[in-house]
């Protein structure tokens, strides 16, 4: 489906959301709920005037008509995509709580910029420079993270630092990279798999195109894993993404996708030998920053040692709420880069050879020590001599340190009128209610008016929110 076909569709109340660069995903489901994913606010529910199940069903029928297909009980799933949009519909006969729709925006641009990334604590200057040098030195790099963490965007950022004269081929099952449109002057071939051409078929043709770099949008099947193995073992360089909870787990995640009885040691030896780096991207809502935050959480190096045993070495790790820790890459990576005429000694000379911890136990101890060092010393109230010692009946307070000369700047203490009665009883004092600040468990509901700019949005829980002011990572 091309952009001209999308031009024939009436997006109506969806247009303000589609025109907002800060919004990456739009989801409609559960009898009329609308949820968006924002670069700065994460996932939140919005109310869009005019966006009803009837309108979404009408949009689905428009898509099916211009595509020459049907959308009904017999064909309850509908997929459509263009250069910068991807739509998916599920018919109410399958989605029992109402028609479901997801729109993913995949703009043909690189949102990430170095200066903004450093300012937003996405990573440190040192690990950024090392990663760029590794791209220049033709290292194979796999980026992992959860859905929506920004893996593809980071791969596009790394790919933008490949040499201009090097040929790139992208292999995708859904169009997301758009490097051919971002760099129209470069030698780039964009390939897409489908029911006719599988990953294996496309890869065979890809090899004959003689690329320097092969970019797989995502490794999520046994066929994609085989494509990665065949590519890297034949001397081509790879940039790709995968779903994994940490960088050091990437080889094992790839093995779990194989679904075969392949010898695990043989498979891991291949991956550890030919993939140099794994990068983990984490995304979460930061209370400190007051917005949705993405960061490089871990960078892990893979290699096979002199005893032919696979080894992993974490060279960068971001500890939650702490400064990241980093150490020098292994001699294996340094030697690999030197063979590509890339020198990183100027970047790593001030780094230590080891991390401040070696395992999970020592890591917890390190974090506890950091917390202790960061605590501010507070005075012990038991050691502070009180200024007011007692109050005489109806009299003024008695000052203990009365040898301190009184100046004009010294505040005067008012007489205490609440004195103890002569019968010795103490009057009851009403307890002040304690107000505890709580965090609402529900997501804010934001209303989006049906206009062309997407302005004048309101949040029922926190006042006004102007979507037009929401920026993008780029």
Q: Is residue 395 part of a domain?
A: no
Q: Is residue 42 part of a domain?
A: yes
CA dihedral 154, 198, 183, 243 (to 10 degrees): 0
Q: Is residue 386 part of a domain?
A: no
Cα separations (Å) of 144 from 14, 66, 67, 182? Answer: 31, 36, 34, 23
Strand pairing report for 310-317 and 325-326: antiparallel
Q: Which residues contact 139 (CB under 8 A, 6 or more apart)?
A: 237, 276, 277, 333, 336, 337
- Say what the pLDDT of residue 320 is: 72
What residue ranges of the chain have pLDDT lower than 70?
Answer: 1-5, 356-474
Q: Are 168 and 212 in contact (CB under 8 A)?
A: yes
**Where in the sequence is the domain holding 180, given as residue range(s)?**
114-355
Burial class of residue 334 (count of CB atoms within 10 Å of its CB; 0-12, 13-18, 19+): middle
The reply to whether 76 and 91 lie within a common domain is: yes
- Say what the pLDDT of residue 200 is: 79
Sheet holding 310-317, edge to edge: 188-192, 168-172, 213-219, 237-242, 141-145, 277-286, 291-304, 310-317, 325-326
The reply to whether 103 and 134 lie within a common domain is: no
Query: Tokens in use for 333?
Result: 């990576």
Q: How far is Cα 197 from Cα 453, in angstroms, rounded to an integer?
A: 41
Strand pairing report for 397-399 and 388-391: antiparallel
- Say what the pLDDT of residue 124 is: 93
- Say what the pLDDT of residue 371 is: 52
Q: How far is Cα 341 from Cα 407, in angstroms, rounded to an integer?
A: 73
The reply to whether 99 and 127 lie within a common domain is: no
> Pick from 340, 355, 370: which residue ends a domain?
355
The reply to whether 266 and 136 lie within a common domain is: yes
Burial class of residue 185 (count of CB atoms within 10 Å of its CB; 0-12, 13-18, 19+): exposed
The reply to whether 304 and 160 lie within a common domain is: yes
Q: What length is written for the chain?
A: 474
The reply to whether 97 and 144 lie within a common domain is: no
Number of domains in the chain: 2
The reply to whether 91 and 206 lie within a common domain is: no
- Say what the pLDDT of residue 360 is: 55
CATH code where residue 25 lies? 3.30.450.370
In this structure, what are the phi and psi dihedrals at residue 389, rounded to the nearest 5 degrees? -95, -45
Q: Is residue 84 part of a domain?
A: yes
- Say what the pLDDT of residue 317 is: 92
- Say what the pLDDT of residue 99 is: 94
First to last CA, the chain: 27
The reply to whether 158 and 284 lie within a common domain is: yes
The reply to whether 96 and 208 lie within a common domain is: no
CATH code where residue 187 lies? 3.40.50.300
Helix (H/G/I), strand (E/B), else coil: 62: helix
The reply to whether 181 and 318 lie within a common domain is: yes
Q: How far is Cα 91 from Cα 151, in angstroms, rounded to an integer?
A: 30
The reply to whether 161 and 123 lie within a common domain is: yes
> Pick from 304, 336, 355: which residue ends a domain?
355
- Say what the pLDDT of residue 420 is: 44
Helix (H/G/I), strand (E/B), else coil: 31: coil
Q: Is residue 82 part of a domain?
A: yes
The reply to whether 200 and 275 lie within a common domain is: yes
């Amino acid at each position: 489906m091309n952009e001209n076909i999308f031009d024939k569709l009436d997006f109506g109340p969806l247009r303000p959301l589609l025109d907002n660069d800060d919004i990456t995903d739009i989801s409609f489901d559960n009898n009329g709920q609308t949820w968006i994913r924002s670069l700065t606010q994460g996932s939140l529910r919005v109310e869009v005037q005019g966006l009803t199940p009837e309108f979404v069903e009408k949009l689905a029928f428009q898509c099916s008509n211009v595509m020459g297909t049907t959308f009904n009980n017999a064909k309850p799933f509908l997929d459509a995509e263009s250069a910068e949009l991807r739509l998916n519909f599920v018919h109410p006969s399958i989605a029992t709580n109402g028609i479901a729709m997801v729109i993913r925006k995949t703009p043909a641009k690189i949102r990430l910029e170095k200066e903004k990334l450093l300012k937003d604590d996405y990573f440190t200057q040192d690990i950024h420079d090392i990663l760029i040098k590794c791209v220049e030195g033709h290292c194979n790099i796999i980026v992992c993270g959860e859905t929506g963490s920004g893996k593809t965007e980071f791969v596009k950022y790394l790919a933008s630092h490949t040499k201009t004269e090097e040929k790139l081929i992208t292999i995708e099952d859904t169009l997301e990279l758009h490097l051919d449109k971002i760099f129209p002057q470069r030698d780039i071939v964009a390939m897409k798999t489908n029911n006719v051409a599988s990953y294996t078929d496309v890869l065979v043709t890809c090899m004959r195109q003689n690329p320097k770099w092969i970019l797989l949008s995502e490794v999520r099947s046994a066929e994609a894993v085989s494509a990665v193995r065949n590519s890297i073992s034949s001397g081509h360089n790879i940039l790709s993404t995968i779903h994994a909870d940490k960088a050091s787990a990437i080889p094992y995640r790839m093995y779990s996708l194989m679904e075969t009885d392949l010898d695990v040691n043989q498979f891991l030896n291949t991956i550890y030998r030919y993939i140099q780096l794994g990068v983990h991207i984490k995304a979460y809502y930061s209370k400190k920053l007051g917005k949705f935050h993405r960061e490089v959480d871990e960078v892990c190096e893979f290699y096979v040692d002199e005893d032919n045993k696979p080894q992993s070495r974490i060279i960068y790790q971001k500890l939650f709420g702490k400064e990241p820790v980093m150490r020098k890459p292994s001699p294996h990576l340094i030697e690999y880069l030197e063979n590509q005429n890339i020198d990183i000694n100027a970047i790593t000379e001030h780094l230590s050879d080891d991390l401040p911890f070696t395992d999970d136990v020592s890591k917890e101890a390190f974090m506890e020590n950091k917390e202790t060092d960061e605590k501010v010393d507070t005075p012990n109230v038991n050691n502070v001599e009180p200024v007011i010692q007692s109050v005489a009946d109806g009299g003024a307070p008695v000052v203990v340190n009365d040898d301190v000369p009184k100046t004009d700047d010294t505040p005067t203490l008012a007489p205490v009128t609440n004195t103890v009665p002569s019968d010795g009883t103490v009057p009851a004092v009403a307890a002040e209610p304690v107000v505890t600040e709580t965090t609402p468990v529900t997501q804010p509901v934001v209303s989006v008016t049906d206009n062309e700019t997407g302005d004048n949005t309101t949040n029922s829980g926190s006042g006004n929110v102007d979507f037009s002011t929401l920026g993008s990572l780029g």
